[in-house]
Amino acid sequence: MNATVIVIFLVIVAMTLVITYFAAKRTKSTSDFYTAGGGLSGWQNGLAIAGDYLSAASFLGIAGSIALFGFDGFLFSIGYLVAYLVVLFIVAEPLRNLGKFTLADMINARFDAKKVRGAAALSSITIVIFYMIAQLVGAGALIQLLFGIDYLWAVLLVGIMMTIYVLFGGMTATSWVQIIKAVLLMVGTVILSFLVLQRFDFNILEMFTQMKTATPHGEAFLNPGVRYKIPLDTISLMLALVLGTAGLPHILMRFFTVRDAKTARSSVMWATWIVGIFYVMTIFLGFGAAAFVGSDLIIATNPAGNMAAPLLAQALGGDILMSFISAVAFATILAVVAGLVLSGASAFAHDIYGQIIKKGKATERQQMLAARYASVGVAVFSILLAIFAQSLNVAFLVSLAFCIAASANLPVIIYTIFWKKFNTTGAISAIFTGLISALILVSISPSVMNPEAGAAIITGTPLFPLTNPAIVSIPLGFIGGVVGTLLSKESDVRKYSEVKVRANTGGFRQL
Amino acid sequence: MAKTVAGGKTRVVQGESKKRNQESGTVKGNNVKEAKPDFDAIEASASFRELMKKKKAFLVPTTILFLGLYLLFNFIISYTNWLEKSFIGDISWVWVFAFGLFAMTWILVTVYMKRAEKFDEMAVKTLKEFNYDKEENL
């Protein structure tokens, strides 16, 4: 770790703490805490959504995968981007029109039942915890590499920072840290892309031609199949990515930070442009790293390829650029985990404590306290899990989180908005069928069971062939909702009229 | 222009509902005493049905289109090597299709933003018909 790294790193940390200080002054109510008072503009929230999405996994992970696997490394990006159309067309506006702080609020606009709220909160918490462990374990390993400090200290450092942002600055601090980080990340990526393209004389054709011979994969580098060789597995994974985004709690929560459906819509528009342009640039980063750093050095530094972007920065821009990219990667990790803490805390404090235990009668003070306790609780719990999971291979947890979101949350969202006969039993069975089937299938899949000792959490022959169960568990979630609905006689068609009118007109938000 | 007005109004209402929540500690959906609007009548009205028809006419085909193209792409690259042929020089059709999906996303988002403005106008019109475009209802 050299002096430049420390200086840039401290500047970014100081900047986020200043933001938190000002945000803390403005965080007085639960609405401020969970949703920044609903006062973000379209471009602000769009940048924040993009920021939530451009986690260390996608910034460092995708650049690294492209460097090591060529086109297959890029494949995920397509799913991540097209997913925004599902968010925009189906989820964003009804969610804003019907909900307040959480996904459970939106479903409860139709079914005023504690059981439904509990089920929705449970699936949200499960997703958040899995996503968080993956991010924290990745973060620990990464910070260890970037700054040469111990894994334990790295996780604690990230954990303490994220807790400070959330505890004092709530959603306002989290959003602004996310926005600034998104801007820095884009600046860093543009600079790196420019330097890479310069090496290829700004000739894209020439770049592709050179890449044919630049890596050990030869021509195969530019075609699918280097990494993903089992067709059904690839399709299952891609299905989880395209349908999962619309059910991720920390993404859904962002739609409550704007004042109306129109602003929610424009924030998705901003996010698709930013995320899309970013992903196009990761191609340059990946190709550049493969050509100018070389896969041997990338793998030697980190077998998963996570250090490709920082190494590329070192090769093309020297210590200063390397330090800047490393500091931005650190900021990325912090901002994403802070958003996750907040969405986990809202499910605990707002759904479970405020609405289920206190039956919606908790005072504002009690709710605020609960929100802060829940934030600390979620943070401490995830830090502990991340410390224990250090030596486990948990990279699959991110795609598992997408899979659960698509299997447990998306069906119930779609039925709530579009299906007249849908009822309480259907809602509960949709959530539980999706959640439980995804969990069971993944626990007997190659992601968890591997005959090779140490390659996965359990040593043994997998009972389910696909690494990601989405292609089975998503249909099961949808079928679970239908079966549950038909088995139960109850239905409230009048309530559906209300939900339909409110979801589509944006009127009667106070009901 | 109707929309900017609506936006301004919404902000005021949010403040009010926040205040109300703070006072009583209740959240929407619970213990709302005031008489409920006649949602059945709104749902059955010609203008609301027209809005739903227009929305459906846009959203159903476009959703089938983008999910279809996305799945098609994944099936083709997973099961065949049809796209692994040169488009220009060493850039194969794989990259062209992939970038096409990016372009499709941006185009559909842009088109939807335009359409949604019409949907907003229709929604305001429906609420007006029932005199529900007042501040407390937006």
Query: What are the angstrom distances between the C-alpha of A364 and each of A118, A320, A369, A481, B99?
Result: 21, 48, 9, 35, 49
Q: Which of A402, A413, A425, A458 is nearest to A126 (CA)?
A: A402
B57 touches chain A (CB under 8 A): no
Bridge partners, B92 (sequence order):
B86
Mean pLDDT to the nearest integer, A197-202: 96
* Domain assignment of residue B24, yes or no: no
Q: Report the residue from A37, A224, A266 with minimal CB separation from B77.
A: A224
Report pLDDT for A473. Answer: 97
Q: Which of A345, A397, A418 is nearest to A170 (CA)?
A: A345
Report pLDDT for A358. Answer: 92
Report pLDDT for B35. Answer: 63
| C-beta of residue A220 within 8 angstroms of C-beta of residue A69 | no
Q: Report the residue from B30, B92, B116 with minimal CB separation from A223.
A: B92
Which parts of A27-70 fold into alpha helices (H)? 30-35, 42-53, 56, 62-69
User: How far does B73 lie from chain A, in Å, by closest CA?
Assistant: 10
β-pairing, A458-459 vs A449-450, is parallel
User: How far does A494 lie from chain B, in Å, by closest CA?
Assistant: 7
Chosen from A98, A505, A511 to mutate, greatest number of chain B CBs within 10 A: A505
> Could you give the ipTM of this predicted complex?
0.94
**Ranges under pLDDT 50 in chain B:** 1-33
Q: Does residue A453 register a pLDDT over 60?
A: yes
Average pLDDT, chain B: 79
CA distance linking residue A366 with residue A460, whole number of Å = 48
B37 touches chain A (CB under 8 A): yes
Chain A residue with CA closest to B58: the answer is A89
Chain A residue with CA closest to B117: the answer is A262
* Domain assignment of residue B123, yes or no: yes
Q: Does residue A270 register a pLDDT over 80?
A: yes
Q: Does residue A124 register a pLDDT over 80?
A: yes
Q: How confident is the model at residue A304 (pLDDT cuts 50, 70, 90)?
A: confident
Residues of A in contact with B36 (CB under 8 A): 498, 511
In angstroms, how far is the first alpha carbon of chain A from the final one?
A: 56
* pLDDT tens by residue, A477-505: 999 999 999 999 888 888 999 999 999 99
Residues of B in contact with A361 (CB under 8 A): 25-26
Which element (helix H / strand E) includes B86? Answer: strand B86-88
Q: Report the residue from A71, A109, A238 with minimal CB separation from B74.
A: A238
* Domain assignment of residue B57, yes or no: yes
User: How far does B103 lie from chain A, in Å, by closest CA?
Assistant: 9
Residues of B in contact with A242 (CB under 8 A): 67, 70
Bridge partners, A173 (sequence order):
none
**Residue carrying structure tokens 């959480």:** A102
User: How far does B72 lie from chain A, in Å, by closest CA?
Assistant: 10
Bridge partners, B86 (sequence order):
B92
Q: Report the residue from A29, A78, A360 with minimal CB separation from B26.
A: A360
> Which of A160-169, A286-295, A407-416, A449-458 is predicted with the least confidence, judged by mean pLDDT?
A449-458
* pLDDT tens by residue, B19-39: 444 434 344 444 444 567 889
Chain A residue with CA closest to B41: the answer is A497
β-pairing, A449-450 vs B86-88, is unpaired
* Domain assignment of residue B7, yes or no: no
Q: Does residue A5 register a pLDDT over 90?
A: no
Chain A residue with CA closest to B12: the answer is A259
Residue numbers of the domain that contains B120: 36-137
Q: Report the residue from A89, A223, A360 with minimal CB separation from B30.
A: A360
Average pLDDT, chain A: 92
Residues of A in contact with B16 (CB under 8 A): 510
* Domain assignment of residue B94, yes or no: yes
Would the CB atoms of B75 and A88 count as touching at under 8 Å?
A: no
* Domain assignment of residue B13, yes or no: no
* pLDDT tens by residue, A407-423: 999 999 999 999 999 99
How many residue pairs from chains A and B have C-beta atoms closer than 8 A? 199
B38 touches chain A (CB under 8 A): no
3-class DSSP state of A341? helix
Would the CB atoms of A88 and B109 count as touching at under 8 Å?
A: yes
B101 touches chain A (CB under 8 A): yes
CA distance linking residue A34 with residue A164, whole number of Å = 15
Q: Report the residue from A88, A205, A501 with minimal CB separation from B39.
A: A501
Would the CB atoms of A224 and B137 count as touching at under 8 Å?
A: no
Give the list of residues 6+ apart from residue A25 with CB closer than 8 angstroms, or none. none
Chosen from A219, A262, A275 to mutate, greatest number of chain B CBs within 10 A: A262
Would the CB atoms of A31 and B18 count as touching at under 8 Å?
A: yes
Chosen from B28, B65, B113 to mutate, greatest number of chain A CBs within 10 A: B28
Would the CB atoms of B70 and A79 count as touching at under 8 Å?
A: yes
Q: What is the pTM of this model?
A: 0.91
Q: What domains lie within chain A, and their CATH numbers?
A: 3-505 (1.20.1730.10)
Q: How confident is the model at residue A53 (pLDDT cuts 50, 70, 90)?
A: confident
Sign of CA dihedral B48, B50, B53, B59: negative
| C-beta of residue B129 within 8 angstroms of C-beta of residue B47 | yes
Chain A residue with CA closest to B138: the answer is A507
Mean pLDDT to the nearest integer, A74-90: 95
Mean pLDDT to the nearest integer, A221-243: 94
CA distance linking residue A214 with residue A498, whole number of Å = 60
- Give φ, ψ of A450 to 5 degrees: -135, 130
Would the CB atoms of B48 and A505 count as touching at under 8 Å?
A: yes
Q: Report the residue from B16, B84, B89 with minimal CB separation from A223.
A: B84
* Domain assignment of residue B8, yes or no: no
The set of long-range contacts for B59-67, using a CB threshold of 8 Å and a minimum separation of 24, is B59/A89, B59/A90, B62/A85, B62/A89, B62/B108, B62/B111, B62/B112, B63/A85, B63/A86, B63/A89, B63/A90, B66/A82, B66/A85, B66/B104, B66/B105, B66/B108, B67/A86, B67/A242
Task: Report how many domains make up chain B.
Answer: 1
Chosen from B24, B26, B39, B79 to mutate, greatest number of chain A CBs within 10 A: B39
CA distance linking residue A51 with residue B36, whole number of Å = 40
Report pLDDT for A9. Answer: 84
Residues of B in contact with A82 (CB under 8 A): 66, 70, 101, 104-105
B30 touches chain A (CB under 8 A): yes
Q: Which of A50, A47, A45, A51 is nearest to A96 (CA)?
A: A45
Mean pLDDT to the nearest integer, A22-41: 93
